Structure 1
């Protein structure tokens, strides 16, 4: 880290943290401050291969979604003031700049813009989070990113998704992490606006269509709006033994759904550079007054690792009256078969996954990684009453330069093919080049 007076001055000016902080209390606040600027260049191409193009009502007939953009992500995390209660401030500055896109090619998730409307040349947002620390407990209030069994804000496009609210994490007991949070607004990854939250995949009833159909099976009650301004969660993970971790979370998107999520992860060493990892997940979701949510989601992933190789086999099953419920707008659901394009979480759907990873460091090429997987799902209902089927094949190749002028520059190519008998057939490519400049 660079801790020059100039870098310190930039970070302090960004945080505005010198106000009302006594001189002696600033030492740890300043010395422990970290700042970095990530440069993320992203090309996205999604080709709709089905006859007639994109089936979505908001982009009917669109042949492809395509964009190329440059992202700038400034992250500043201050240290804490001295004393029993330490105070600090974090900052997140986001800027997305269009390099190429336009009307008729929207929907990439990289840039704002509705179908057949021009995309803006740039978009940006700045968020702050005040924080306080007592012992091993930290409270943050402001602009936040969550990653747990209840909610995962997405960072799979040009800029990350964020939420407005509060978050407390406690690690006072060895092996136990307790986690609670609240959010009232969400800023999607292709937006600069904080908005109310929605239920993913839900259809609304109208006078002309009182009983709408979707493969998720989630429908709003008559007259109810698919929106909420309160999401809460509470839970944690406990390391029962060196090889076994258990987790539980309760979450509630007010008026839309409530959910109990359970997780067990076991890692069994099998010898030199060998292990068997088992990841079991179960969630029970029900409505919260304005929807028909009723879902049981079971998933398991078993991965055998040998030196640089990893072989995985996964199974996921939906049961109940509807598919899986989670916060809409491209948040990341906690499902073993949530992959690049699909989540395989339609009502009553059963799906299997086969996955292979290889880390080339095991043969003397550090920084180079490869992943491929195939997922197939069926047993859900289509609009005409017949059985729905779908499959997806993904491939990732990534390389991080280890030395020289390009050291720590990361290049990744993500390729996916998805086919089904109820909606869009998709061929997709993503090329991502990223580099983080440490400022402090």
Structure 2
């Protein structure tokens, strides 16, 4: 571990210990370990395979709100430290898991992240300033590989009434999953990297009734684009064993007239039927206009009705996908499996060429039920990607995790 990382870890440990002495048993701690093996094998011998084997240890601290001298105003603190070390040999190729130096073509042997946020609560309003773990249709964190990508900034969430909730956010920087630094938000278009001074967003969620929910979000990414998001979600229970969930989601992204040139829409519909332990889903997603502008740093779009290992959001792309999941709780409690197939067509490429792509995902997860192994989990992902024009690959991800709350 680098000396600077040791200093950061020690400083946070001292800070966290001091907080634990004041808040005592009301605080929450979580220890999280992840052993991650990820390998992407390209069919094209001219393309280097990517992947690594690494181990992480993370400690998360979540203080309960404490009273202040001001009536109904409470204060708290969230803090965390994350550290990962590479166990495999350096393949000298970027794999988006650990930091990579493009100049020396070397992958870091280890890296660390640390952060925290002060939080204030007044009645049903919560203000957070510092490191933000965003969960919004227009800003998400990324926990799909090893360490988690997060933002710097602030959010204000408020419960207006029983039906309406609001969140305002100002995010200035982002630390990618394979980076130990916070950097400006950016978008790369045609090889040109455009930086932004920050992202401002508003999220509104409205519960029409017990079955129907609506949401609207707007984000202004300075110097790059404005994005609108609208969604409707309906749940209907036929009986105790069978239910239908319907989602309609729409994005509209337009450039702000500065350096970027963006005119893109995403329309998605997903129908999901649950019957006892079975889950079956079918959906379609259509990109209208330009490829959807995914930001640099592997920031995911988790609110798409179709989000895969690869991005099915290319120019004019239309995607169909089928999902089948099964919960083995009646036979092997803790075991779940899922199979997903996606097919994208009408992708507009240079010269008027149309491309197609497909992806098959097989996912399994198991949480140990034994008292002595409680908190240990296994996850496996196999992804097979094929495209008419491009590079096909097979990918395997295997995670062993351990979670301890205290």
Question: TM-score of the superposition, structure 1-length normalised?
Answer: 0.85
> How far did 1:416 drift?
0.1
Distance in 1 of aligned mates of 2:347 and 2:52: 33
Match of 1:78 among 63, 66, 71: 63
Counterpart for residue 59 of structure 1 = none
Which protein has the bigger strand share?
2
Match of 1:192 among 180, 193, 205: 180
Match of 1:301 among 254, 270, 285: 270
Residue 369 of structure 1 pairs with residue 348 of structure 2? no
- Show CA shifts across 1:173-206 (max 9, x none): 113221111111110101101111112x52246x
> How far did 1:282 drift?
0.4
Distance in 2 of aligned mates of 1:32 and 1:403: 27
Contact 1:226/1:256 (<8 A) preserved: yes
Match of 2:223 among 252, 255, 275: 255
Residue 109 of structure 1 pairs with residue 96 of structure 2? yes
Q: 1:11 to 1:243 in 2, by over 3 A?
A: farther
Aligned CA RMSD, in angstroms, stands at: 1.9
> How far did 1:397 drift?
0.5
Q: Using CA pairs below 8 Å that are at least 6 residues apart, which structure has the higher relative contact order? A: 1
> How far did 1:226 drift?
1.3
Counterpart for residue 394 of structure 2 = 427
Contact 1:324/1:346 (<8 A) preserved: yes
Counterpart for residue 39 of structure 1 = 33
> How far did 1:164 drift?
0.5
Match of 1:65 among 44, 50, 72: 50
Distance in 2 of aligned mates of 1:193 and 1:40: 21
Residue 87 of structure 1 pairs with residue 56 of structure 2? no
> How far did 1:372 drift?
0.5
> How far did 1:13 drift?
4.1
Counterpart for residue 312 of structure 1 = 281
- Provide the secondary structure at the position in 2 that maps to 1:271: coil
Residue 169 of structure 1 pairs with residue 157 of structure 2? yes
Q: 1:52 to 1:309 in 2, by over 3 A?
A: same
Distance in 2 of aligned mates of 1:285 and 1:251: 9
Q: 1:101 to 1:423 in 2, by over 3 A?
A: farther
- Provide the secondary structure at the position in 2 that maps to 1:286: strand
Distance in 2 of aligned mates of 1:178 and 1:12: 35
> How far did 1:14 drift?
1.1
Match of 1:246 among 214, 225, 231: 214
Counterpart for residue 14 of structure 1 = 16
> How far did 1:12 drift?
7.9
Distance in 1 of aligned mates of 2:208 and 2:89: 50
Q: 1:422 to 1:384 in 2, by over 3 A?
A: farther
- Show CA shifts across 1:115-141 (max 9, x none): 672222211121010110011211110
Counterpart for residue 123 of structure 2 = 135
Structure 2 residues without counterparts, runs of 5 or longer: 1-11
Structure 1 residues without counterparts, runs of 5 or longer: 1-9, 20-25, 54-61, 206-224
> How far did 1:18 drift?
8.2
Counterpart for residue 411 of structure 1 = 378
> How far did 1:335 drift?
1.2
> How far did 1:107 drift?
2.8
Residue 202 of structure 1 pairs with residue 204 of structure 2? no
Question: TM-score of the superposition, structure 2-length normalised?
Answer: 0.91
Distance in 1 of aligned mates of 2:172 and 2:251: 23
